[in-house]
Amino acid sequence: MEQRKHWWNGKWGRLARRDVFLRSDADRWHVEQRAGGAEGISQFYEYASVEEAEETVRALLQGADTWRELSPRPPSGWSTEA
Please name the fold of domain 2-64.
Answer: Viral Envelope Glycoprotein; domain 2 (3.30.67)
Q: In what order do the strands lie in the sheet with 68-70?
A: 41-47, 28-35, 18-25, 2-8, 68-70
- Alpha-carbon span 10 to 36, nearest angstrom: 12
pTM for the model stands at 0.84
Q: What is the pLDDT of residues 25-51, one digit of tens each?
A: 999 999 999 999 989 999 999 999 999
Local confidence band at 17 (pLDDT 50, 70, 90 cut-offs): very high
